[in-house]
Amino acid sequence: MRLLRSVFVSAFALTTLSVSVAQTVSETNPAPWKANPELVAKKQQSRNNQFNYVEANVPDYQLPDPLVASNGAKVADAQTWYQQRRPELMELFRTQVYGRRPSTPYKTQAKVVQTRDNVFGLGASGAQYTLTIETENGSHSFDFVLFVPQSKQPVPVVVQMNNRKFISLDEADKQPDGFWSVKRILEAGFATAAFHTSDVDPDRKDGYEQGIRALLDDPDSDEDSRWKALSAWGWGASRVLDHLETMPAIDAKRSAIVGHSRGGKSALWTAAEDTRFAIAYSNNSGCGGAALSRRAYGETVKRITSSFPHWFCNRFANFSDRESELPVDQHQLIALVAPRSVYVTSSDQDLWADPKGEYTSLINAAPVFKLLGLQAIEPSEMPALDAPRHQGATGYHVRSGAHNLTEQDWVSFLKFAKSRFKQER
């Protein structure tokens, strides 16, 4: 009996030990993120569902290689990338997805309309500007707000394309909002500027005449490849950066462009077009942003171009239900930001934006970063929920919660940005 009891106790102890070890391993190496089965089932069973949320139903696809030129030649060195392949991809995105920015001459003028001192009690300064664009066809103005931390040296700057509403100088100081986490950004040692995208170009189908495109468009240009709102918002961000470059307190060479959702789509394209931005941060950008179009998971090309025809150039709609025929995909957009840095964020409940498609896009851009001598995220398995993964020039996390830009997102992004900008603060 004693022997049996001893064996039983030993076995129990071993079992307990193995469970303890398993728990420790699970805690230190949490499982890669996967879509919540209950959420998937709920979305699939919704009465009006016409979209796929089941991973097993993602169509087979082959991604176009960012390092194979249009003539079939392998891109084996940085010179070929910069002189041949990158221009090819830029042209394809301009003519097939986002449209071409016009070359109409313009002048800009920035006027200070309000200032504040000692913002948040941090010794930071704040100012609201009106930026006016003047052309032969007339003028267009929009406001942006800028906060600069107290510093003896020029500081990096985060430019946010706010697609929700304009946040005035007083509002940002007195009614803090995690969507634009001004205090946290200042505490990290960064300046930050923000403008409302619709003030540059209205975010509606009938907003053309009230936006910057009406002043700058060339009527003789190819109508099907003309730029639309996503590209126009990025043009506005570039004009803000123009002004920031004139300010001694700002180190504009260490600038980041940040956008959420439709703003995240625009942020990636903005960084591709304007190589002055050192980091592109795309948050929950989904279809037409960081997510691969060929996966057709959640929002699709057909859905986005029919619901928001004012975002992309006309030709993008031609690939509705024909994503496999696209000459590009979004991993190549991310690759166009190289050798600068890219940070992508997904949300656990935001299956519409296809978190796996966003992560898969990011890792398929890695070969370009590596070609240019940089490290980048490569593992095919996604990181665990709320476990940011940073590797060299790229970073990623999938956050608990819904479609949003939150304080938690800012914490992870700012940590990444500080490492890229070598910030000690």
**For position 154, which CATH number holds?**
3.40.50.1820
Q: Taking the alpha carbons of 176, 182, 183, 185 in that order, is the dihedral positive or negative?
A: positive
Residue 211 lies inside a defined structural domain of this protein: yes
Q: What pLDDT sits at residue 9?
A: 39
Could you give the CA distance from residue 192 to residue 190 in angstroms, rounded to a whole number? 6
**pLDDT at residue number 15:** 42
Q: pTM value? A: 0.93
Catalytic residues: 261, 403
DSSP annotation of 83: I
| pLDDT of 424 | 53
Residue 5 lies in a domain: no
In a domain, 12, yes or no: no
In a domain, 34, yes or no: no
The answer to whether 331 touches 362, Cβ cutoff 8 Å, is yes
Q: What is the pLDDT of residue 212?
A: 98
What residues are paired with 391 via a beta bridge? Answer: 394
What is the total count of domains within the chain? 1
- The four Cα atoms 59, 64, 65, 66 give a dihedral, to 10 degrees, of -120
- The answer to whether residue 46 is domain-embedded is no
User: Which residues form the domain of 213?
Assistant: 78-421
Give the chain's residues under pLDDT 50.
1-27
pLDDT at 175: 78
